[in-house]
């Protein structure tokens, strides 16, 4: 049985004060969730304060990026040890906005992933195709390329600590959610790649989250799919009420 993960990616939103107020409101409505893991990903500046506020609840805190080096001359970057010290337990790696805005490559994703694992962080690695790639019928090839580049050189034990988020780029912030069937099709491809590379056990236990315009009114349909093990939520995670509704999605 794979325990679902509902994660909120705040992107470049919320000050420290706003983050603390959010967590204080989230705790009573989602801080005791048993049916899923709850993760929020504030910007770097609010990580420590959010983690401090979340203490004593089940809410976990993720960073939105990490550098692969332990330390060094990398202006603007943050190391895995710094994230752990700030109270992060998870880290998002390879989000399509970082690939787009910062030219991140699969090779860099791989290095970041290894640094995160070495520091005991749970990586949430994002993969997914653009609209052009989908329309050209290349979704599978894109996922294969991102998987091969992003996850190379890992042992099955290391791979088993990773969460993957399937985020079709065309569904992010557009209001165009992939249908549950489209998401399932891509999740199956990812699970098959995991099976091929890391074995049956790793594939069966791998949790694959869906991301892209997840809202309170479509989470139920997505989570009803056996293949969908959670969600990485952007815009709809910024409001506590709507994120709590997503965390407490309808379950039969």
Residue of the chain from 108, 110, 213, 218 that contacts ligand 13P (CB under 6 A)? 213
Q: Which is nearer to ligand 13P, 117 or 165 (CB)?
A: 165
Interaction between residue 102 and ligand 13P (CB under 6 A): no
Q: Which two tokens stand for residue 94?
A: 């390879």
By beta carbon distance, the residue nearest ligand 13P is 234
Nearer to ligand 13P, 123 or 211 (CB): 211
| Count, residues near ligand 13P per rule CB under 6 A | 14
Residue with tokens 């705040």: 10
Dihedral class, residue 96 (left if φ above 0, else alpha if ψ from -120 to 50, else beta): alpha
Q: Which residues are the active-site residues?
A: 95, 167
The span of 69-77, 209-217, 222-230, 242-250 binding ligand 13P (CB under 6 A) equals 209-217
Please tell me whether residue 173 binds ligand 13P under the rule CB under 6 A: yes
Separation CA 227–CA 210 (nearest Å): 10
Cα–Cα distance between 15 and 188 in angstroms, integer? 38
Cβ(219)–Cβ(227) under 8 Å? no
By CB under 6 A, residue 38 contacts ligand 13P:
no
Which tokens hold the place of 86?
Answer: 């700030």
Residues that bind ligand 13P (CB under 6 A): 9, 95, 167, 172-173, 211-214, 232-236
């Amino acid at each position: 049985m794979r325990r679902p993960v509902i994660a909120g990616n705040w992107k470049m939103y919320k000050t420290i004060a706003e983050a603390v107020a959010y967590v204080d409101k989230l705790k009573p409505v989602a801080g005791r969730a048993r049916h899923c893991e709850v993760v929020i990903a504030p910007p770097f500046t609010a990580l420590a304060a959010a983690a401090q506020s979340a203490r004593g609840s089940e809410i976990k805190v993720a960073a939105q990026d990490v550098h692969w080096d332990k330390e060094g001359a990398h202006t603007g970057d943050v190391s895995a040890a710094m994230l752990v010290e700030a109270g992060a337990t998870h880290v998002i790696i390879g989000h399509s906005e970082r690939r787009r805005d910062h030219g991140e490559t699969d090779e860099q994703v791989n290095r970041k992933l290894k640094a995160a694992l070495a520091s005991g962080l749970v990586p949430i690695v994002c993969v997914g195709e653009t609209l052009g790639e989908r329309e050209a019928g290349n979704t599978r090839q894109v996922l294969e390329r991102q998987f091969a580049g992003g996850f190379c050189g890992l042992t099955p034990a290391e791979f088993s600590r990773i969460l993957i988020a399937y985020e079709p780029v065309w569904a992010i912030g557009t209001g165009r959610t992939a249908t549950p069937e489209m998401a399932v099709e891509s999740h199956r491809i990812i699970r098959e790649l995991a099976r091929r590379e890391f074995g049956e056990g790793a594939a069966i236990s791998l949790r694959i989250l869906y991301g892209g315009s997840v809202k309170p009114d479509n989470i139920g349909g997505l989570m009803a799919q056996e293949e969908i093990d959670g969600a990485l939520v952007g815009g709809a995670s910024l409001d506590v009420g709507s994120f709590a509704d997503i965390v407490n999605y309808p379950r039969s």
